Amino acid sequence: MSGDVVLRAEDIHKSYGKLQVLKGVTFEIRKGETKVIAGPSGAGKSTLLRCLNLLTMPDKGRVWLEDIELTDPKVDINKMRQKIGFVFQEFNLFHHLTALENVMIGLTKVKKMPKEEALRSAKEALLTVHITEDLWHKYPAQLSGGQKQRVAIARALAMDPVIILYDEPTSALDPQLVGEVLQVMKELARKGVTGLVVTHEIGFALEVADEIMFMYDGKILEKGPPKEVVFNPKHEVTKKFFEKIGRLYGERR
Amino acid sequence: MNINIEALLPYFPYIIEGALWTFALVGGGLGLGFIIGLPIAIGQVYGGRIIKTILDVYVWFFRGVPLLVLLFLFYWGVFPAMGFKLSALVTSMIVLGLRSGAYQSQIFRGAIQSVEEGQMLAARSIGMTKTQAIIHIVLPQALRIAIPGWTNEYAILLKDSAICFALGVMEILTRTRYVAISTGIYFIPYLFAGILFIILTYGGTKIFNIIYEKVQIPGLVKGGM
């Protein structure tokens, strides 16, 4: 065990009406780690991710970011969300702002950074995700899917987060654009940016993840080193799932 | 038809001058309607149950009562009862505004609701409060979407403003009526007033359309935000 725990979830439950989506999920992630959450659709992966920054309020259970409990009603969640990057499947870039403005707005409006400083940080974040100057003043509708998602990653990154949560970041992309986004995510992982990634990209998991958590029916069914979980799982459902995913996605890197 | 146009000539500038009053009515009505309508829309989309119910009653009332009834109600009833002694022009502007606010709120509500849910989620995810997200992310997009509906509201309000002749506001119709009665010629003055309204309707609409084009977000398909 090395490094400090930056995010800890304890016994997270969430139901929508009678449908129990999360049935008690507990895990933690340490500074610099990259963890992948995999599992069939409906297993509760996205709901879990949204429960971690309280975009969805868990019914039961607690979440800590570093040593602060987010689920404590006294905590200013807006302040805490600044420290949790979130990358959406559908990018959700702000349509009316340019790429640069998308990255800047959190810095100026939320962090109240002076404009010059915000501009510098935003440009730096964009360059980190390989969005070059010629794209800075384009609007989201003028960018490709891969470019949009990289701007979205830059928007999260610029806030200088403790962790970035990725919710199926490549699922809405055309196949030929997946690589550029995964590449950026790998680079960030190698730089030590802590990440929790919901994805079906097994190649990504095998290459950079410290751990895969396999979710099934609202719980973490098993977890461990990626190679272990993918090639030598304990449970039959896990095995079936990765066989199927392997056929669908291959192990592209 | 034997109409002495020459006898009418001096009266045309008098009627045209009424356009200033008409503009005051429309400008006041649209402006006040915006100030009332936008917060109502925000309340209707994001507010709690009680707020929504109160706002629904407001909208329901001002959309349900005929304009002429509202004008009389406020001019002879509500304002005097409240101790205000307001001129016919000011009363008309306020009534048009209160009513337009109800209609505009529905335009803005639709526009706000057509901004994808993901925009709000993304704004909250970088730490914006709900209010910040509404101001910086949702409204700039919603207001753009609302422009065509708002242009329509201008055209409707412009034509509705003629009803204010009932309170004697010196707008286009009131003046036209005076001219018609005092000269005994009806056809030409009323035709002239009609044409004047058409010019104002299409001229104004044109201007709003230009603004709409100007503020379009590059690359986005119109209306498909």
Confirm or reject contact between A162 and chain B (CB < 8 A): no
* pLDDT score of B223: 46
CB-CB under 8 Å, A140 with B119: no
Check CB contact of A149 with chain B, cutoff 8 Å. Answer: no
| Residue A181: HSE in the Cβ half-sphere, 13 Å Cα cutoff | 30
Residue B118's domain comprises 14-214
Tens of pLDDT, residues A92-108: 999 999 999 999 999 99
Chain A residue with CA closest to B144: the answer is A96
Is the pLDDT score of A231 beyond 60?
A: yes
Cβ separation of B128 and A140 shorter than 8 Å? Answer: no
Residues 39-78 of A with CB under 8 A from B: 53, 55, 78
Task: Record the pTM.
Answer: 0.91
Q: Place B220 in a pLDDT band, splitting at 50, 70 and 90.
A: confident
The verdict on a CB contact (< 8 Å) between A110 and B128 is: yes
Give B106-157 pLDDT, tens digit per residue. Answer: 999 999 999 999 999 999 999 999 999 999 999 999 999 999 999 999 999 9
Contact across the interface for A109 and B132, Cβ inside 8 Å? yes
Mean pLDDT, rounded, for A58-81: 95
% of chain B surpassing 90 pLDDT:
90
* Subunit contact B126:A82, Cβ cutoff 8 A: yes
CA angle at residue B106 from B152 to B144, to 5 degrees?
A: 60
Would you say residue A57 has pLDDT above 90? Answer: yes
Tell me the average pLDDT across A218-245.
Answer: 94
Identify the band that residue B224 occupies on the pLDDT scale cut at 50, 70 and 90.
very low
Q: Is the pLDDT score of A252 beyond 70? A: no
Q: What is the pLDDT of residue A2?
A: 45
User: Does the structure show a pLDDT above 90 at B219?
Assistant: no
Tokens for A151, please give them. Answer: 């701007």
Which residues from chain B sit within 8 angstroms of residue A88, using beta carbons?
A: 118, 121-122, 125
Q: Is residue B156 part of a domain?
A: yes
pLDDT at B221 over 90: no
Residue B145's pLDDT is 95
Q: Which residues of A touch B117 (CB under 8 A)?
A: none
* B42 occurs within a structural domain: yes
- The mean pLDDT of chain A is 94
pLDDT per residue as tens digits for the range A206-220: 999 999 999 999 999
- pLDDT tens-digit profile of B168-196? 999 999 999 999 999 999 999 999 999 99
Where is pLDDT greater, at B3 or B8?
B8
The whole-number average pLDDT for the span B34-50 is 97
For residue B9, being part of any structural domain is answered with: no
Residues of chain A with C-beta less than 8 angstroms from the C-beta of B132: 109-110
Contacts of A85 in chain B (CB under 8 A): 125
pLDDT at A127 over 70: yes
Q: For this complex, say whether ipTM is above 0.90.
A: yes
In angstroms, what separates the C-alpha of B110 from chain A's closest C-alpha? Answer: 18
**Average pLDDT estimate for A19-31:** 96
Q: Which among A81, A90, A139 is the nearest to B126, CB-wise?
A: A81
**Interchain CB distance below 8 Å, B220 and A95:** yes
The count of structural domains within chain B is: 1
> What CATH number has the domain bearing residue B80?
1.10.3720.10
B1 domain residue, yes or no: no
Q: For position A250, what pLDDT does the model report?
A: 61
Q: What pLDDT band is residue A246 in, cutting at 50, 70 and 90?
A: confident
CB contact under 8 A, A110 and B144: no
